[in-house]
Chains A and B, each alone.
Chain A
């Protein structure tokens, strides 16, 4: 912590590198440099990709000047399409948002109810259900995608391929986020508030709605944001369950387009996706930060958010 470095006594500048290295109170310059190199390495490539979406030419690797042609341009040279001139890419954008909305709207309430039930119900079966849910959480996405593809193809054939299958599959895969986040919050809240409410005459449903639910709002909110953002980016499940071409999402377009005919239009598409996710996350962070302040907590909002992830 900073107290350690602050307590470091002033020393003479001249000393050998070995002494410097062995000094336990020296400032962590090497670590700081490594951290910053890591940060740049992890984030700069994305910024470069965003930059190339504004490239005034077909290249995605050398800069030819600024233009917004890959977003809104018409009649581009060589028959290339910009994002908004290509109806397929527009459809993909709509499909992505539609799937994310449906999934969030179902997965979060489902996960909330599941978390409450599992947390309070100590009978036979609660342990098994919890284990199954966690198992679905750690299972590689490809396994879930393929398994769902089989079950929709061979058993649940009444579910049409495309949006329906994708949404149902995504909900299974995303439900565990709200469950995990809300359960963690439930554990930290404890039962005393509810019990106090019921001692004061509240019925179970009243104490749940008027006492417990408001206490859970931050967790519910965090999981909503997380699920929505994750749905926008989801690729494996959505692709395994994709039906007609109208059910292709941005991520599927990125994957297929990047391999067949790469143009900066795909960078533009990825940038739009990034902006979508970032908007959702920033709204989340903003509201979450305000909530945390209201509760009088000193913990940094970002830190709380990170821990909840």
Chain B
């Protein structure tokens, strides 16, 4: 008993000493001080991010009322029923009817083409601004950021105006004799949807690319030239490898929201033959098929988890470095 008391006193003393030492070293805060700042945010995230995520699971593996076909969420994991999930996954793979495979394949193809095009279009622009911007760099950057200030819907609507049958695009193409008659761009054309995706998401690609290219020291490029490399070799051996991480970061930033996109295809086409995964989820939600919507959301997250984790890891290590 006495030993226990003694040790407790010892511990108290040690704690006091530690406090005194920390105080002498400089900033000292009580242990609860900083965590209490984070608490409201953590609570918010727990209730409105973690819990909703759990709700997706609870509904995906929930109980389907056989009469009303309404899915009731099941919150206890030990009662989860995978039948509905299996059914939807089977449709996603294309083994069951109605097959969702076309939507998934279409989405992957659209996103792949659009994101590659985003890199190809934005790289020269980002390169020019980063390397040759000079005194006008701030001005160029303003123009690069400007699309962020215009709502996404308005930018799509703007192209809707331009691509209409009697719109300016058709007028120009016909007057240049590239087309004999106006092309119905907005009537369920994949090319228009992909174009919309590129136009919509390219600003998100340019800025990280710019940041990455701006970090490359010009002296490295000059060294490469001094050592006899021509412009092409300097680009492929120095600039491109150094900007690889910026390209990947840009690709992740651009592809993640594209996979959840349903409004671009709705505004640029609105036809069934160009619907993406996002449209499928949105349709299910609007028609009160919550079970299907939840399952599709879950599958989407599983698809995207690797790029998301990669991005989080690299950004985290980057902040740790700086």
Q: Which residues of A contact B (CB under 8 A)?
A: 1-2, 4-5, 22, 24, 28, 31-32, 34-35, 38-39, 42-43, 45-46, 48-49, 52, 59-62, 110-111, 113-114, 116-118, 120-121, 123, 125-126, 129, 131-136, 138-144, 146-151, 153-156, 168-169, 171-172, 175, 179, 183-184, 187, 191, 194-195, 198-199, 204, 207, 229, 232-233, 235-236, 240, 251, 254-255, 258-259, 262, 266-267, 270, 273-274, 277-278, 281, 300-303, 305-307, 309
Contact = CB atoms under 8 A, between A and B. Distances in A.
Given A45-B158, A150-B294, A141 B260 contact: yes
B146 to A, nearest CB: 6
B231 interface: yes
B48 A148 contact: yes
Given A121-B38, A259-B267, 13 more contacts: A32-B132, A34-B124, A35-B129, A110-B40, A114-B37, A120-B34, A142-B260, A142-B281, A146-B294, A204-B29, A270-B153, A277-B151, A302-B139
Contacts of B304: 140
Given A61-B164, A110-B41, A233 B260 contact: no
Nearest to A187: B322
A150 B55 contact: yes
B52 A303 contact: no
B101 interface: no
B305 to A, nearest CB: 10
Contacts of A207: 27
7 contacts: A38-B125, A43-B147, A131-B312, A144-B49, A198-B28, A204-B33, A233-B153
A38 to B, nearest CB: 5
A117 B27 contact: no
Contact of B260 (A28, A123, A140, A204): A140
Given A43-B143, A147-B53, A22 B231 contact: yes
Nearest to B145: A306
A274 B148 CA distance: 11
A147 B230 contact: no
A117 B300 contact: no
A132 B151 contact: no
A235 B263 contact: yes
B154 A307 contact: no
Given A129-B45, A144-B52, A179-B41, A43 B134 contact: no
Contact of A273 (B35, B143, B151): B151
Given A59-B166, A148-B52, A255-B263, A129 B312 contact: no
A302 B139 CA distance: 8
A143 B125 contact: no
Interface in B45-77: 45, 47-53, 55-56, 58-59, 73
B166 A187 contact: no
Contact of B55 (A35, A151, A309): A151
A277 B27 contact: no
B72 to A, nearest CB: 8
A29 to B, nearest CB: 10
B282 interface: yes
Contact of A139 (B222, B267, B308): B308
Contacts of B45: 129, 132-133, 136, 172, 175
A35 B128 contact: yes
Interface string B233-256: 010000000000000000010001
Nearest to A133: B45
Given A45-B162, A114-B40, A141-B257, A146 B73 contact: no
Contacts of B59: 150, 154
Contacts of B189: none
